Structure 1
Amino acid sequence: MPRSVWKGPYVAVNLLQEVVALARKHPEWWSKGRFQGQKAPEVINTFSRASVILPDFIACRFGVHNGRSFVNMEVQEAMVGHRLGEFSATRVMPKHKVKDSGAVPKKKINAKTGKAA
């Protein structure tokens, strides 16, 4: 069952405070630079994977914790409404070993003659 509309989206309070602090610390970037494609001056690290991305977060850079380290991401318009945790994978897909192409192939031995074929 989805969250009730009257409650609004969930965003951790400390995350909102850090975004507001970023806006106050760099007002020229907040008002103009972020809409002109400039990167955010700071990365906001957070453990709150459940927080919803708001329109005010566009062009901000977040470091979202994946259980081991912080995964850096820059918020874009298409991400609004999704959760921060969706963009930092917590599991690593296993990689299959690749056969070494430089290895010398084994010689096949003929069972009848006992010599290499």
Structure 2
Amino acid sequence: MTRVKWKGPYVELKSLPNSNNISNKLKNTVQTITRNSEIVPSFVGITFNIHNGKTFLKLTVTEEMIGHKFGEFSPTRKKFSFKKNKN
């Protein structure tokens, strides 16, 4: 089930980059824990540190990511591989 159009995309207000903050302009990174926030066009070019449950992963937003959620780009599980047997 999708979100109602009249409400607009869900974006955590804390994750919005503050244009008035000088230190934010210098760093150009925003740290967020909300993986369910949707990426909006004003986020293009900004680097986000997204929490995956253990660490923060860097994500630079591009135009192709608009409309997706942050959680789609920060995997929470490791890649599984079988260990080789010793002969």
Could you state the TM-score of these two structures normalised by the residue count of structure 1? 0.65
1:60 aligned to 46, 49, 55, which one? 46
Please name the residue that 1:108 is paired with: none
Q: So what's the TM-score if we normalise by structure 2?
A: 0.86
Runs of at least 4 residues off by over 3 Å: none
Q: 2:69 aligns with which of 83, 89, 95?
A: 83
Q: Which moved more, 1:70-79 or 1:87-96?
A: 87-96
Higher mean alpha-carbon deviation, 42-51 vs 70-79, is at 42-51
- d(CA) in 1 for partners of 2:40 and 2:8? 11
Cα deviation code 1:68-88 (max 9, x no counterpart): 010101000000000011100
Q: Which has the larger radius of gyration?
A: 1
What's 2:14 paired with?
Answer: 14
Q: Distance in 2 between matches of 1:99 and 1:61?
A: 41
Q: Distance in 2 between matches of 1:86 and 1:51?
A: 10
Match of 1:42 among 24, 28, 44: 28
1:41: how far off?
A: 3.2
Measure the CA separation in 2 of the matches of 1:4 and 1:61.
28
**Which structure carries more strand by proportion?**
2
Q: Percent identity?
A: 38
Higher RCO, 1 vs 2 (CA within 8 Å, ≥6 residues apart): 2
Say how many residue pairs are matched: 85
